Amino acid sequence: MDTIPSLNTLRSIKTTKNIGETFEGFKKGDDLDQPLSPMARLFHEPGSNVYIIGIMGLKTKIRPNVFKENLVHTFLKNRRFSSLQVMDKETGSMKWIPTHVNIDDHVIVPKLDPNINSPDKFVEDFISNLSRSHIDNIKPLWDLHILDIKTSEAEGTCVFRFHHSLGDGVSLMNLLLACTRKVSDPEALPTLPGNNKLGVAKVASLWSTLGVIWNSFLALLMFVWTALFLEDTRTPMKGSKGVEHRARRFVVRSVSLDDIKMVKRAMNVSLNDVVLGITQAGFYRYLQGRYSNENADIPDNMRFRATFFFNLRPTTRIDDFTDTDSVGTWGNKIGYSLLPFKICFKKDPLDYVVDANTTMKHRKASLEPLFTYLFTKLLMILFGIKVVGKVNHKVFFNTTLWFSNVPGPQEEITFFGHKVAYIAPSCYGQPNALMIHVVSYMDKVTFIISADEETIPDPHKLCNDLEESLRDIKASAQNRIVK
C-alpha cells in the first residue's frame, strides 16, 4: 500500500513585524501574533500530527453557495480558522498570524457523475484518499469537501478536515453544532445530554479519597511503564511501525439507541458501559475470525488496551464558536486513560457489559485523565515539545487502539438550513491501526471505524461483528427481563 507523505512538513513563511503592512484590514503597527499553546504545538510533532475528520450526511441537496456564505460569518470569525500557523526558523516556536481567507480555497466541490456506480463506496474511497494527504500550511489548516452525490444514507455528504492543533474533538464538535439549529425550533441551538465534567472522580470520605489517590498513582505508573517498554500483545488488530503514515479506511455503522437503552435498564449500568461491552464482544468475534483463518487460537490473557479519551471541560453545553478566549471552550483540553479490554469468550453476552462496568468503575475512582494531562504538561515544561512528542507516540503505539465517544444532539438538526442525517467524527495520523469513535444523534448511536487497511483489511466485517454483538447482548437482556 502506498504511504501518505510525511505530515510534519511545516515550512517557514516570511512575515513582517508590522502586521498592517502584511494583512490588509488590520490596524498598522498592531502586533497580533499569538503563540500556539504547547498542546497545539505538540500536534505538529512526528507521531502526534493528527487530523480530525468530520463526516456529515445531509437529507437534502447541498447548496455550496449557502455553505460558503455561512462559513464566512461563522468559521472565519474565529481567529484559529482565519490565521496561519507560522514557524520561527530560529526558535522553532509557532504563532497564529491573521490572514485573509479566500473561502474558495477551503471549500472544495468536485464535479461528480450522478450516475456513478456504488456511490457509497465512492464516498468511502474519497474520504480514505483524504487521509493520504495534509493541508498546506500556506493557508489556515482546515477545509471542507462537499460531495453532491446520493448515497444509501444521505442526499449529499460534507467532509470537514481540521488539523488537531486547531482544537480537540470536543471543541471542534462544538464549532459544528454551534452552526446548527433544531428542526423543531429554527432559532434554537441543539441540546446535548449530560452537563458534568468527564473523567474526574467524586469522593465522599477520607477512605475514598485515599483510594482515588492510590488508583491515580497506579494509573500514572502504568502510563510511565507503557511509555518505556510495556506493549500490548501482537494481534491482527495491533498496528506495525509507521502506521501513522498510512492511509485509513473510514466506515460508519449506526445502531438503535433504544436497543442500547434497553440493555442499560436491564443491567442498571450506564450507556457507556453498554457501548464498551458491545465493543469488547465485537472485538472477540472479529479476532476469533482472524485467528481461525490462520488456523490459530486467540492467545490467553492477551494485553489489549485502548487509549480512552476524556473531555476535561466543565460542561458539555454548546458555547459561542467565535470566542477563542472563552474559558474551557477552545484548545486541546483532553486527558486519557489506558483502558484494558478483556478479549475472551463469554457464555452469557451480558458478561461483556458486566466487565465493562467493572473496568469503568475502577477508572472513575481515579484521576487518571487529569493526571495524564497534567503530567504531559509537566514533561513539556521540563524537557520540551520534542520529548513529549516521543513519549506520546510511544504510549499510543504500545496500545492497540484509540477509543472516544462524544454526545451528539438529542433532536433532529439542520446545518446551514440542511437537515442532518448523521454525524461521524474520526481521526487519521495516529500511531494505532484502529480508532473507534462513538457518537449519538437522535435515536441512533453511530460507530465510526478509522482503520489502517494493511492491518485491518476488512473494517466492514468489524462493523458487522459489533452489530451482531449488540443483537446477542440485547437478546440476553430481554431473556433476563422475561425471567
The pLDDT tens digits of the residues spanning 277-308 come to 999 999 999 999 999 988 888 998 899 999 99
- The model's pLDDT over 91-150, given as tens digits with 9 standing for 90+, comes to 778 899 999 999 999 999 999 987 898 999 999 999 999 999 999 989 999 999 999 999
Q: Does 481 score more than 90 pLDDT?
A: no
For the beta sheet containing 83-87, the strands, ordered from the edge strand earlier in sequence to the opposite edge, are 34-35, 94-98, 83-87
Q: Indicate the SS3 state at residue 94.
A: strand
Backbone angles phi, psi at 191, to 5 degrees: -110, 145
Q: Which residue in the list 134, 163, 164, 245 is annotated as catalytic?
A: 164
Average pLDDT, the chain: 86
Instruction: Select, from the ranges 74-88, 184-198, 262-276, the one with the highest average predicted confidence (pLDDT).
Output: 262-276
Q: How confident is the model at residue 37 (pLDDT cuts 50, 70, 90)?
A: confident
Task: Give the CA distances from residue 327 to residues 14, 336, 408, in Å, rounded to whole numbers and listed in that order.
Answer: 32, 21, 22
Spatial distance between the Cα atoms of 446 and 245, rounded to a whole number of angstroms = 26
Beta strand pairing call for 142-147 and 107-108: parallel
The conformation of residue 399, written as its DSSP 8-state character, comes to S
Q: Residue with C-alpha cell 480530525?
A: 52
Active site residue 164: yes
Q: What is the DSSP string of 35-93?
A: EPPHHHHHTTSTTT--EEEEEEEESS---HHHHHHHHHHTGGGSGGGSEEEEE-TTT--
For residue 231, the model assigns a pLDDT of 96
Q: Does 12 score more than 50 pLDDT?
A: no
Q: Does domain 19-182 have CATH number 3.40.190.10?
A: no
Spatial distance between the Cα atoms of 183 and 187, rounded to a whole number of angstroms = 9
Instruction: Select, from the ranges 30-34, 216-220, 404-408, 438-442, the one with the highest average predicted confidence (pLDDT).
Output: 438-442
Task: Give the CA distances from residue 447 to residues 94, 130, 189, 324, 429, in Å, rounded to whole numbers and listed in that order.
Answer: 35, 20, 24, 30, 19
Q: How confident is the model at residue 314 (pLDDT cuts 50, 70, 90)?
A: low
Instruction: Provide CB contacts within 8 A for 151, sequence distance 6+.
Output: 57, 119, 120, 123, 157
**Comparing C-alpha atoms, which of 447, 481, 443 is closest to residue 464?**
447
Backbone angles phi, psi at 67, to 5 degrees: -60, -50
Q: Does 386 score more than 70 pLDDT?
A: yes
Q: Indicate the SS3 state at residue 304.
A: coil
- The model's pLDDT over 324-379, given as tens digits with 9 standing for 90+, comes to 544 446 777 788 899 999 999 999 999 999 999 999 888 888 888 888 888 888 99
| Count of other CB atoms within 10 angstroms of residue 211 | 15
Spatial distance between the Cα atoms of 249 and 435, rounded to a whole number of angstroms = 11
Contact call for residues 433 and 455 (beta carbons, < 8 A): yes
Domain boundaries, the chain: 19-182, 206-409+433-482
Please list the residues that pair with 334 across neighbouring strands: 311
For residue 320, the model assigns a pLDDT of 54
**Comparing C-alpha atoms, which of 203, 222, 225, 224 is closest to residue 212?**
203
For residue 366, the model assigns a pLDDT of 85
Q: How confident is the model at residue 205 (pLDDT cuts 50, 70, 90)?
A: low
For residue 4, the model assigns a pLDDT of 31
Q: Do domains 19-182 and 206-409+433-482 have the same CATH topology?
A: yes
For residue 229, the model assigns a pLDDT of 93
Please list the residues that pair with 427 across neighbouring strands: 52
Average pLDDT for 374-388:
90
237 burial level (CB within 10 Å; 0-12, 13-18, 19+): buried
Contact call for residues 161 and 145 (beta carbons, < 8 A): yes
Q: Does 24 score more than 60 pLDDT?
A: no
Protein fold of 206-409+433-482: Chloramphenicol Acetyltransferase (3.30.559)
Contact call for residues 44 and 165 (beta carbons, < 8 A): yes
